[in-house]
């Protein structure tokens, strides 16, 4: 009984570990892609990250960015 439990725990730990490696790899790949894209915009056109962020904020709804007011829990 103990050996089966140990094997099961090791198997689950391995699955979680390899899933975590995939998530970290994907996150790093996305971060580098965004960084290279922003660097390219800056070098080619002089467009900085803040200008890109302001453009993205202009596309998003205003309720996502409430400056100066803490979020309410609604309880």
The whole-number mean pLDDT for each consecutive block of 10 residues of the chain, a chain of 75 residues, reads 95 98 98 96 94 89 70 58
pLDDT of residue 17: 98
Tokens 């070098």 -> residue: 43
Domain ranges in the chain? 2-61
pLDDT of residue 64: 77
40 with 29: CB under 8 angstroms? no
pLDDT of residue 51: 94
pLDDT of residue 75: 59
pLDDT of residue 72: 60
pLDDT of residue 35: 95
Half-sphere exposure of residue 13: CA atoms within 13 angstroms, side-chain side: 6
């Amino acid at each position: 009984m103990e050996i089966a439990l140990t094997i099961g725990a090791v198997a689950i730990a391995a699955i979680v570990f390899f899933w975590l490696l995939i998530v970290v790899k994907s996150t790093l790949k996305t971060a580098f892609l965004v960084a290279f894209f922003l660097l390219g915009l800056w070098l080619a056109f002089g467009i900085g990250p803040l200008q890109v962020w302001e453009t993205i904020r202009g596309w998003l709804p205003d309720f996502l960015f409430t400056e100066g007011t803490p979020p309410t829990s609604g309880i």
